[in-house]
A and B are shown apart, each in its own frame.
Chain A
Amino acid sequence: MRFLFNLFVLLILIVALLVWANLPWYGVLALALVFVGWMAFFRRGRQAASVTGVGISTLKQRLGSSSVVVIGIAGVVGVLVALLAMGEGYSETLRKTGSEDTAIVLRGGSASEVSSVLTRDSILVIEQAPGIARDKQGKPIASGEIVVAANLPVKGGGPDDEGSVQVRGVGDQAWALRPTAKIIAGRAFRTGMRELVVGQGAQRQFAGLEPGREVKLGAQAWTVVGVFASGDAYDSEIWGDADVVAETYRRGSSRTSVFAKLTDAKAMDTFKAALAGDPRLQVDVDSTLNYFSKQSEGMSKVMRIMGITVGSIMAIGAIFGALNTMFAAVAARAREIATLRAIGFRGVPVVVAVMLETTLLALLGGIIGGLLAWLIFNGWTASTLASGTTGQLAFTFRVTPELLWEGLKWALAIGFVGGLFPALRAARLPVTTALREL
C-alpha cells in the first residue's frame, strides 16, 4: 500500500516536471495567481498561509541548513545559466551576421565559403542576375570575395603560439553589402595595396593588429591601416583587397563566394531561380542570414547539451541536498506540526507550508545563481574554431532574460522535488507518536 502510494507520487512528480518544463511564462503566472487566490480566499488556503508564516519565522534558527538549499541551488543555476549563455552568445553572434536581403552564392555542394571556388566567368554572370540592387552609378551591389586563413601570433601567447584567423579579400562594395561594419579607428584599405583592416574581435585576440603596424602573411608584409566593428561574426575577420589577397594566396582570378545585395528580401526567389536556371552555373544560393545561422547549429547544440548534462547532474546533487535539509527541518518541527494537526489543521496546509518554504528558498537560490552568472559572465569574451570558417570566432557570453527565466524554472523544479517528500512525511506523521517524541 505504502509502496503503491510512493509509486503514485513519483508518477505525478514526473508528469508535473514534464508539464513544468514546457510551461510558458504566462502559464507560470496564472498558476501563481491561482495559488495566491487560494491562499487568500479559502479556509484551507488561509490555514496554509499561516502555517507557512510560522515556518518562515523559524528559518533564522535553521540558517545553516537552509543556506545549504539556497547555495546548492544557486550553484546549479549559476553554472547552468553560464553554460547556456556561452551557447547563446555563440549562436547569437552568427545569427546576427547577415540579413534576409543579402544573398551568398557558393559553388554547388560546398559546405562553407572556404571550400567553395567560383571562377571569374561565373562571378561576372552572377553579378548580372536579376534582383540585385544597384548603387547610384548603376553598378550592381555585389562582390566576389575570397576567404582564406592566416596564422598570426596570439596575444599573450608564447613566441611559437599561433592561431588561425579568417582573412577575407573584399571588393569596393563590401561596405555597402554590410551596413553594420564601420571603421572605428584608422581608415579603410586602399585598392591594390597590401593593406588590411582588422575586426575588433580579431584585434583583441591576435598580437600586433594595431593601425600602423606591419604583419606578415606568409612571406609578405602587410600594413594594418584600420579597425572595423560590426558586432557580429565579421568582427573576428581581417579584410584586405580581394585582388591582392588572391595574389598572395595564388588563387588567380577565382573567388570563393559572391555576396549580393538584393532589392528586397522578396527578390531572393527571383535571384535564386535565375541562377538555378542558368546552364553556365552550378551554384547554391542562400540568404546570408540563413547561411550563418546554419553554421552555428552544430556547435550551439553541443554547447546546449553540455550545459543541460552538467546542470542535470548538479541538480540531482542539489535535490538531495534540499531533501536532506527539509527532512531535518520537518524532524525538528515534528512536535509543532503534530500540535497543529491535533488542534484541527488538516494535512493539505501542512504539505503546502513545507513545500512553499522550500520553494521560496529555491527561488532565492535561483535568483542569486542567475544574478552571479549575469554579473560574472555577461559580456565575457571567448573564442572557438567555428565550423565552416577557417579562423577563430570570438563571441561574448550572453545572459539573456530567457536564460535567467530558464534558470529560475530549474530552481523551482529542484525546490519542488526537494520539498515534496519531506512535506508528505510531515503530513503523514501519526499525531500521537510525534507528540510523544523527545
Chain B
Amino acid sequence: MKYFHLIWAALFRRKTRTVLTLVSIIAAFLLFGMLDAVRTSFDQAGKSANGAQRLQTGSKLSFIETLPQGLGEKIATVPGVKSVAYANWFGGAYQDPHNQVFTFAVSDNYIDQYPEVQVTDEARKAYLNTRTGILVGEKLMEKYHWKIGDKIPLQSNIFPQQDGSKNWTFDIVGVLHPTEQSVAFYGQMILMHWKYFDDAVMKGYNDGHVGWYVTRVNDVNQADQVAKAIDAISANSDHETRTQTEAAATASWMKQLADIGLIVGSIMGAVFFTLLLLTGNTMMQAVRERTSELAVLKTLGFSDTSVLVMVLAESVLLVLLGGVIGIGLASVLIPFVSAGSGGMLNLPTVGVNSWMLGIALMVAIGGVVGVIPAWRAMRLNIVDALAGR
C-alpha cells in the first residue's frame, strides 16, 4: 500500500492515453452493468420468498383455456393449502385497441395472495364496496396521469358486454404499490372484480369460468406435493390442470420469450475480448516507455518482485478504476432507461451480485492484461535498460 502514490503517478504519467483507455473501459463496463441488469431481471422474475409459497394452476391444454369456478372449492380442501384465489385475463386496451394494458379480473382475495404488493386499507375497502372499482399499478397511474376517483374507459379485445359493446368503464379506487422487484409488473397492471366481469360479460363468453388459480401453501417444502394433489383433482376430466410454483411458471415464460443468457453472454464475450486487447496494448506501451525509469527503480534497490507487483497493480488499478465508474454509471442510467422505455423494460438497479461479478471480472482482466508487461519489467536488466539497448 505504501507504493500506492508511485503506482498512481505511473498510471497518469501519460494523461491522454490513460484517460482514453479509461473511457473505453468505462464503456465496456457500462454495457456490462446494463446487460447484467437485463439478465438478472429475467433470472429473478418470480423468484422470491413470497413467490415460492404460491402455486399457479392453469389448464393443461394451454394457457388460453379456462377452468370451472367450482374447482376452487376443491383446491381449498387439499391439505397444505392456505388460501385460493383466481383470476381471468381481460385483455384491456386504453384508447387504441393496440395499446394494451394488462388487466386481470380477480377474486376478492386475490390481492391477499400477494403481500408484497401494497394496497392501503382504505383503497381495499373502497375496492370491495365498488362493483366497477379497479386497482391500478402505480406506474400506470403516472403514465396516463390518472387520479383516484377517475372514471376510465377500457376496451377489451376479447370480451363484449351484455349489450355487445366492448367498451367498459371503471372507477379507479386504489393504487397497487409493488415493493419487490419480482412483482414489479403489478406496477403496470389493472385488477378488476371477477364477479362484476362475469356478470357483465355477454353470455357465452365466460359463464363462470376462471383463467387460473393462485394458491398459497402453508409450507414451502410441501409445494410440490400440493401441486400434484391439485392436479389429481381434475385428472381424466375434460379440464385437466397443470400446477406449477410461481417461480417455475415464470421461468418457463421467460425461457420461451428469449434465451437472454446466451445473448448477453455472447455480447459480453465480444466486448471483453476487445477490451483485453485494448488495455493490453496500453499497458505494453506504458511499460515500454518507462524502461529506463523501471531500471532506475531497480537501481535504487526495488526488488524484481516488487517491480512485477507494481506493474501488475497498475494494470489492475486501471481496469478497476474504469470498471467501477462504468458500473456506477450504469446504475445511474438504468432508472432512466426503465422510465424511457415506457414500462416495457423494468430493470432492477445493479445488485450486489452484479457488482461482485463485475469486480471479479475487472481484477481478472487487469491481471491477464498486466502479466506480460509485468513479466518484462521484472526481467529487465538494469545495465541494458539504462543504456537504452
A191 in contact (CB, < 8 A) = no
Q: Is the CB of B63 within 8 A of A164?
A: yes
Inter-subunit contact A324/B158 (CB<8 Å): no
A163 cross-chain contacts in B, Cβ below 8 A: 252, 255-256
Q: Are A218 and B60 in contact (CB under 8 A)?
A: yes
Considering the chains assembled together, what is the distance between the CA atoms of A189 and B366 in angstroms? Answer: 62
Q: Size class of B's contact patch?
A: 35 or more
**Are A68 and B277 in contact, with the CB atoms below 8 A?**
yes
Least Cβ–Cβ distance between A245 and chain B, in angstroms: 11
A149 within 8 A of B: yes
Is the CB–CB distance between A109 and B24 below 8 Å? Answer: no
Min CB–CB distance B241 → chain A (angstroms):
10
Known: A67-B277, A75-B273, A218-B240. A316 touches B155 (CB 8 A): no
Q: How far is the CB of A165 from chain B (nearest CB, A)?
A: 9
Describe B's contact surface by its main secondary structure: helix
Complex: chain B residue closest to A151, CB-CB: B62
Please, which residues of chain B bring their CB within 8 A of the CB of A185? none
Smallest CB separation, B64 vs chain A (Å): 5
Given contacts A151-B242, A310-B31, contact A327 B16 (CB under 8 A): yes
Nearest CB of A to B36, in Å: 13
Contact in complex: B17, A75 (CB < 8 Å): no
Instruction: Say yes or no: is B258 at the interface (Cβ < 8 Å to chain A).
Output: yes
B30 at the A/B interface (Cβ < 8 Å)?
Answer: yes
B31 pairs with A384, CB closer than 8 A: no
Kindly state whether residue A159 has any CB partner on chain B within 8 Å: no
Known: A72-B277, A392-B256. A317 touches B267 (CB 8 A): no
Which residues of A37-71 have CB atoms within 8 Å of chain B's CB atoms?
A: 64-65, 67-68, 71
Indicate whether B282 reaches chain A with its CB closer than 8 angstroms: yes
Given contact pairs A328-B285, A385-B257, A75 touches B20 in the complex (Cβ within 8 A): no
* Alpha-carbon separation in the docked complex, A109 to B166 (Å): 8
Q: What distance in Å separates the Cβ of A312 from its nearest Cβ neighbour in chain B? A: 9
Minimum CB–CB distance for B131 against chain A, Å: 24
B169 CB-CB contact with A under 8 Å: no
Contacts of A325 in B (CB 8 A): 281
Within 8 A of A (CB), among B215-248: 236-238, 240, 242, 244, 248
Taking a contact as CB atoms under 8 Å apart, the answer to whether A149 and B62 are in contact is: yes
- List B residues 266-307 near A (Cβ within 8 Å): 266-267, 270-271, 273-275, 277-278, 281-282, 284-285
Is B252 a contact partner of A385 (Cβ separation < 8 A)?
A: no
CA distance A383 to B258 in the complex (A): 7
Residues in B whose Cβ lies below 8 Å from that of A383: 256
- Whether the pair A323, B20 counts as a contact (CB closer than 8 A) is yes
A305 to B, closest residue via Cβ = B341
Question: In the complex, how many angstroms separate the beta carbon of B11 from the nearest chain A beta carbon?
Answer: 15
B343 at the interface (CB under 8 A from A): no
* Residue from the list A161, A313, A382 in contact with B27, Cβ < 8 A: A313
Give chain B nearest CB distance to A111 CB in angstroms: 4
Given contacts A164-B62, A313-B27, A384-B257, contact A327 B281 (CB under 8 A): no
Q: A317 is contacted by which of B62, B252, B274 (Cβ under 8 Å)?
A: B274
Known contacts A72-B274, A109-B157, A111-B97; A217/B24 CB under 8 A? no
Residues of B within 8 Å of A302, CB to CB, are 344
B98 contacts chain A at the CB level, 8 A cutoff: yes
A residues with a Cβ closer than 8 A to B are: 64-65, 67-68, 71-72, 75, 78-79, 82-83, 109-112, 114-115, 117, 148-151, 160-164, 167, 217-219, 248-250, 302, 310, 313-314, 316-318, 320-321, 323-325, 327-328, 382-385, 390, 392
- Please give 5 more A-B residue pairs, beta carbons under 8 A apart, in addition to A151-B61, A302-B344, A390-B64: A67-B277, A71-B277, A164-B62, A321-B21, A324-B278
Residues of B within 8 A of A (CB): 16-17, 20-21, 23-25, 27-28, 30-31, 34-35, 59-65, 91, 93, 97-98, 100, 155, 157-158, 166, 205, 236-238, 240, 242, 244, 248, 252-253, 255-259, 266-267, 270-271, 273-275, 277-278, 281-282, 284-285, 344
Closest 8 CB pairs of A and B: A317-B27, A149-B62, A218-B61, A75-B274, A324-B20, A320-B23, A317-B24, A111-B157
> Can you give 17 contacting A-B residue pairs, CB < 8 Å?
A68-B281, A79-B270, A110-B97, A115-B91, A148-B62, A164-B256, A310-B31, A316-B23, A317-B24, A317-B25, A320-B20, A321-B24, A324-B20, A324-B24, A328-B17, A384-B258, A385-B257
